[in-house]
A and B are shown apart, each in its own frame.
Chain A
Amino acid sequence: MTTANDMPLLHGLPRIVRCLLATLLLSAPALALADESQISEYRVKSAFLYNFSRFVTWPDATLQDRTEFSLCVMGTDPFGAQLDKLTGKTVHNNTLVVRRLKSLAMVDDCQLVYIGEDTTRADVLLLVREQPVLTVSDAADFIEQGGIIQFKLVQNKVRFRINMDAANTAGLRISSKLLSLATSVTGRD
């Protein structure tokens, strides 16, 4: 058995180091402006929120009387400007608007509410219970608390869980497509 000491591990390296330096020098003048923004988690999640709004059906009465579809954020907003890019899109014939709520008072006027940190989730859930409001959160026990859709990262990919009981109570109908893509669906008959 060869011992580690006589392994030619660094065999050829000095040449490589020289070559490396050459490449670095070669590549030095950079004017680059191309967009290399990373795919942030919440850039993808905001696209999910948009898709949730498309694949969930609200009671006719909820959307008929208004022109706007309100997508609200309660508590800390992890999306930032990414979410505002959804503004103006059409959802169920209404125009999507993004609203960041300062207080619970307006929450039942939202069609979809994302509940961030720094807020008492139970309060929000209690308030919108039996209201046609789609609740979404990243919180680990959100489904158990009575929320409708909970995000979940699996192998760095965005997945979600669905609580059918809560959706039924809210009077929301979730498309079979969304159900089939969910990692788990609770409260289903």
Chain B
Amino acid sequence: MDSGMQVNMQSQPQPRLPLRYLTRLVYRSVLGLVAGLFTAFSVHATNLDNELPEDLTDMSLEALMNIEVTSASKKPQKQSEAAAAIFVITNNDLRRWGVTNIPEALRRVPGIDVARIDANKWAITSRGFNSRFANKLLVLIDGRSVYTPLFAGVYWDSQDLVLEDVDRIEVIRGPGGTLWGANAVNGVINIITKSTADTQGDMVSVTAGNEVKGIGSVRHGGKFRNGADYRVYAKYNSYDEGYNPDGAHDDWRTGQVGFRTDWVKTDRDDITLQGDYYRGTAGQLVNIPAGPPAPPPTTIVPTVSDTDTNGGNLLFRWSHKLENASNFALQLYYDHVGLDGEVLFEDRDSFDTDFQHHFNWREEHDVVWGLHYRHISDDTDSNATFSLDPSSRSVNLYSTFIQDEVSLRDDLRFTAGIKLEHNDFSGFEYQPNVRLAWAADENQTWWGSVSRAIRTPARGEHDVELRLVPPPPPNDPGRPVFAQGDSDYHSEDLVAYELGYRLNHNNIWSVDVAAFYNDYNKLRTLDPVVDPGPPPVVLLPFDNNMEGKTYGLEIAGQWQVRKGWRLNASYSWLDTQLRLVNDSTDTFSEGAEDASPVSKAAVWSALDFGDKLQFDAALRYVGDITVTGVNIDSYVEADLRLGWEAKPGLELSIIGQNLLNSRHAEYLPDFINTQTTGVERSIYGRVTWSF
């Protein structure tokens, strides 16, 4: 532990406890884990090799400059790595894990909690507070935010990609507010697709099985006469329904087309233009509260309904290199999201513009600053369950940030930055962070950070009136219950303290440990108020009457047992302590304490038999949770994959997911009362042909 971090930690109001606590955690977990487990970690680039050309001189200088090297030289040198908890899923991982969509890919990542609600809905969060509308995790696809400002969260069923064309998924746990802005409270997921220079040629991929009814992707990559590379693709998905003895009705289908072109205009200018358009239909069984409900109980009408989705985006990025390795980038995008379901209706258009300038100052300073503006306008429809007032609204978001990473010594890097932001709901917000990374030797890095991040009010928290399904008798108040937006609803805020350690032993094995203590204020509560009417109703206005502390530990490890055999493991531990303040009479927000599992682990093996056959196996454990008072058991599941490269470019694989149980439950819905369905054993085959 380096002394600089201790000073930072001790200057905070709760000085010693978290540190001692975390130290003990590290000690205990090391005892517990090292005994039985190998550990290791893919801090970035350990998987990259498979994707590099044999002859590196085929690569452009820019590409060479992006390779992270593992230094084999003896002399001590600057080994500086990210002062943050990062896990990278590579394109090769996506293939070998046999996943069919982004939520499945996130299951093995430490600190990330993935729970399927029904076949087309997921609750995914980082470091706790899980919900279908998990609001503390920001998700970006190629720099475009897919975090919905309506209820806060991500519509995962609408975030589809040709997985073969995904370059990597960078998962950064912990606050990222300084760089990425509001709502990157507990983490940021950056999904990055390949440059079109890397997807030249044609590719066809077909996947089919019992749960995955069919996924088909077609991509064509080519070159324009001016030298620009492009690709166009089309993809169709059809998934079977989950398990519900009364009929699940949650099967779903999506279709998507898109394109991307990358033009290296001059030595200094890179231009990217890309766009996607999708349509989908996702089924569900949703419980609609019907009234008037006197005498109790409220009538609940289970309704089979399809949610139709459609959306599209167009993104332009220009990056320009200046002298001395400095550069600037300008990005503009337009994004449309359309949602038409039994409860939620939304048509939203966003226009986003982002400018960033990066430069070196006096060699030791690596400075990046930027300006950002987003305009969002939405149009919603109301029904007996859901309405927004006003039904249509335009909001603006402005922000600016600056961050400086300074090399104090060869082995010591200090980062400080701040973001200032203004939004129409909560006004001005600030999000600073300081980070320190110490390369103890060429194999070991310690890092620590203190940062503040905020979660800004969602449009719904400001403007919604949502009729909720009341608890069963005798607790049913006998009157309609409405969650109600409040124009005084404030941002939630977090001050986070993180410590991390990475060890890479000759690229044979590596381990990455991150521990954190998070201190939240002004968390969301719903304090009941009886409105005598007529008609009498119970209102639950959104308020900020909860404080919280979370403690956690995440370990990821990797062990290259021998050539062609790699083992990985990840383990996460989380403790959430919530406390109502201001005499709040809220009865269920504290339930978020148990909505994410205390512990979660995964172990997986990637084995090659020669260069044609691959065998992959994984085991995943997720601890038990309690959602809206209902306990969901822990589960262990296994995934297997056998892959065969029949000839160059043609790969056949057979994949089994969730093999240990015929079905298991993972989550329950919260705000929108759709019925949950069990996750069933899934077996499918896949043919991928590149030519």
Contact = CB atoms under 8 A, between A and B. Distances in A.
B565 interface: yes
A103 interface: no
B69 A153 contact: yes
A185 B326 CA distance: 12
A1 interface: yes
B323 interface: yes
B163 interface: no
A175 B268 CA distance: 12
Interface string B611-629: 1000101110101000000
Contact of A9 (B28, B49, B322): B28
Interface string B13-27: 000010001001100
A185 B496 CA distance: 39
Contacts of B566: 36
Given A39-B70, A156-B69, A180-B322, A16 B48 contact: no
A78 B75 CA distance: 11
A9 B563 contact: no
Given A33-B608, A155-B80, A180 B323 contact: yes
A29 to B, nearest CB: 8
Contacts of B507: 38
B621 A19 contact: yes
A85 B55 contact: yes
B71 interface: yes
Nearest to B437: A155
A32 B324 contact: no
> For chain B, what secondary structure do more than half of its interface residues adopt (helix, strand, loop), or is it mixed?
mixed
Contacts of B59: 47
Interface residues of A, number: 66
B32 A32 contact: no
A27 B642 CA distance: 12
B610 interface: yes
A4 B321 CA distance: 51
B65 A30 contact: no
Interface in A17-34: 17, 19-20, 22-24, 26-27, 30-34
B599 interface: yes
A183 B363 contact: yes
Given A153-B69, A180-B323, A30 B621 contact: no
Contact of A20 (B21, B75, B603): B603
Interface in B579-603: 598-599, 601, 603
B49 A39 contact: yes
Interface string A176-189: 11111111110000
Interface residues of B, number: 84
B68 A157 contact: yes
A13 B49 CA distance: 33
Nearest to B22: A4
Nearest to B573: A9
A33 B52 contact: no
Given A26-B617, A182-B324, A51 B564 contact: no
Given A47-B57, A78-B73, A12 B634 contact: yes
A102 interface: no
Contacts of A178: 61
A154 B78 contact: yes
B57 A1 contact: no
Contacts of B324: 182-185
Interface in A73-118: 78, 85-86, 89, 117
A153 B64 contact: no
Interface string A108-144: 0000000001000000000000000000001000000
B395 interface: no
A23 B55 contact: no
A24 B48 CA distance: 24
Interface of B: 17, 21, 24-25, 28-29, 32-33, 36-37, 44-46, 48-50, 52, 55-57, 59, 61-62, 64-73, 75, 77-82, 267-268, 321-325, 360, 363, 507, 553, 560-567, 569, 571, 573, 575, 577, 598-599, 601, 603-605, 607-611, 615, 617-619, 621, 623, 634, 636, 638
14 contacts: A2-B577, A9-B25, A16-B636, A19-B636, A38-B70, A39-B48, A39-B49, A39-B52, A39-B69, A41-B72, A55-B61, A154-B78, A156-B68, A180-B267
Given A2-B575, A40-B69, A47-B64, 6 more contacts: A16-B601, A32-B564, A42-B73, A156-B44, A158-B64, A179-B323
